[in-house]
Amino acid sequence: MSSSAKPHRGSPYAQELMTHLQPYCTPRKTERGEQLDFKVNGQGMCYLILEGTVAVYRRNDNMMLSTARSPAVFGLANLTDIYFDDYIKTINSCVIGGISAARV
């Protein structure tokens, strides 16, 4: 590996999945500290983190569970049912595309 090569992180299929899902979402710019819920009006949501960094929080105690930087996909576990009622919060300005689980 050359010193200029970026180390691989995450799934090698993440970017391919994002490429397929991106036409179905409407990317929008978010500011630092915005909260995005995995459940909106009783429906599961998936989020494509196209630019920026987010943190995942557990709703019942607001504990931060993890952080992730783009590219990343969140909410796929909620495709068939609401298993996780957590939320993400932007750490910095981001570009995020939201898709309802029904559309995925």
pLDDT in tens, 38-48: 988 888 899 99
CATH number of residue 50's parent domain: 2.60.120.10
Q: How many degrees, rounded to 5, is the angle at CA 41 between CA 102 and CA 91? A: 90
CA dihedral over 91, 27, 50, 40, signed as positive or negative: positive
Q: Per the domain annotation, does 8 fall within a domain?
A: no
- Contact between 75 and 45 under an 8 Å Cβ cutoff? The reply is yes
d(CA 9, CA 4) in angstroms, rounded, equals 15
Domain count, the chain: 1
Q: Per the domain annotation, does 24 fall within a domain?
A: yes
Domain that holds residue 85: 14-100
Q: Per the domain annotation, does 86 fall within a domain?
A: yes
Instruction: Collapse the DSSP code of 52 into the 3-class scheme (helix H, G, I; strand E, B; otherwise coil) and give the result.
Output: coil
Q: Per the domain annotation, does 83 fall within a domain?
A: yes
Tokens 């998936």 belong to residue: 46
Q: Per the domain annotation, does 5 fall within a domain?
A: no
Q: Per the domain annotation, does 4 fall within a domain?
A: no
Indicate whether 5 pLDDT > 90: no
Indicate whether 32 pLDDT > 90: yes
Q: Per the domain annotation, does 72 fall within a domain?
A: yes
Tokens 């996780």 belong to residue: 84
Q: What is the pTM of this model?
A: 0.83
Percent of the chain whose pLDDT exceeds 70 = 88
For 24: left if phi > 0, alpha if psi spans -120 to 50, otherwise beta; the answer is: alpha
